Amino acid sequence: MVRAGRRHKGVEGDRERFEDDREAGGERPVLTWPLDASNQLAHSLQQHGEEPGSERASARIAFILRRSMPASEPRAGGGAGVSKSADATDDRQVEAAAFESVAVWGREALSLSRELKGVSPRAVETKADAFDLTTPADAAIERRLRERIARAFPTHAVIGEEQGSSDGPHDWQWVLDPIDGTFNYFTNLPGAACSIALRRGTELRVGAVVDFTSGVVFRARVGSGVVSDDGPRTSQHTAAGRARSERMGDFEVDMLGTLARVRPIVPRLIGGAAFALLSVALEGGCFVGLGLRLWDVAAGVVLAQEAGHRARWWYGSSPVVHVLVGTESDVEAFAPVVAELARRSDARAQAIA
């Protein structure tokens, strides 16, 4: 297991009883929830021999989340009379369960990506331009993730690249990009990844990036650092990019020149923002992303921040976002330039529309 950034030791909880056939009427699990409560969930899965990626593993995580809180304690967002300490406890439980869930779901996404790899070119469609592809794997992975979320976290909302946003008010929202870098995925190039993130309100709390090339799931939650079951597969570079368009090549070249005038850079233009942010999280460097969507960067930003980096956001015409991620000094140096580039990016996008 690899960890980057901050670490916290968890305290193992008491053994719980898992009921396969009924939800109510059984013995309530007795759990303590330390700062790194996810250690207990991982212990429970291992103790009961649940196969990672199986439906039983997902069901156990959902069961522990639903059954571990005392019946007298209201859940977060439960209305008047809910104390801040109760809210904080509930939030940690949700985040701990989500942190374990994304490991399972990430492996499922990886498995689906491999099963559906050899699709006919006739099954591939384009969206904004010839480089913006969507494949049957995109839809299948997002559909599977939504099914898992609905089962484990039925009150949570979801927004994803393929199916858009679920309706209704919500405190928690999952942000999904089933394949970030679909062009790379379809053409067998490195840089394709699945991005899964959870936010509370507008604050990103949990993220996972599945590197389809190495087959490794990297994940983080606030306070955990970056965790994986294998080693890093990326190299150290500064990455700069924007949403691909056939009419934006001159803008990308100009952007690199502008950034290089601030301080020396080693530019790298790659297909997936999630993969680029994973590289920054594991090996350092700086990421500049213009004209993106939240699902492109949400999980990667969580990983980068938990590895000790800083993120700075600018918001264009909804749902466009611009983001700068790097060390404190890089962000301070590049922020004025990126702010101007973001403004110009928005203006150019409006002119083209």
Q: Could you tell me which residues are beta bridge partners of residue 314? A: 322
Q: What's the confidence (pLDDT) of residue 86?
A: 56
> From its phi and psi, is residue 80 left (phi > 0), alpha (psi between -120 and 50) or beta?
beta
Q: Is the pLDDT reported for residue 82 higher than 50?
A: no
Decide which of 148 and 237 is more confident. 148
In the numeric block, the tokens 């000790």 are attached to 308
What gap in Å lies between CA 92 and CA 90, rounded to an integer?
5
Q: Which of 195, 239, 198, 199 is nearest to 217 (CA)?
A: 195
* Count of Cβ atoms closer than 10 Å to residue 261 Cβ: 10
Q: What's the confidence (pLDDT) of residue 70?
A: 39
> Are 190 and 211 a contacting pair, CB within 8 Å?
no
Q: Is the pLDDT reported for residue 15 higher than 70?
A: no
* pLDDT bucket at 179, cuts 50 / 70 / 90: very high
Decide which of 177 and 272 is more confident. 177
Q: What is the β-pairing status of strands 239-242 and 287-293?
A: parallel
Q: Is the pLDDT reported for residue 339 higher than 80?
A: yes
Helices 328-352 + 249-260 axis angle, to 10: 150
Q: Which of 183, 194, 189, 186 is nearest to 218 (CA)?
A: 194
Q: What's the confidence (pLDDT) of residue 162?
A: 72
In the numeric block, the tokens 């103790």 are attached to 47
For 240-259, what is the mean pLDDT?
50
> From its phi and psi, is residue 271 left (phi > 0), alpha (psi between -120 and 50) or beta?
alpha
What percentage of the chain carries pLDDT values higher than 90? 41
* pLDDT bucket at 136, cuts 50 / 70 / 90: confident
Q: Tell me yes or no: is domain 239-352 CATH 1.10.579.10.
A: no
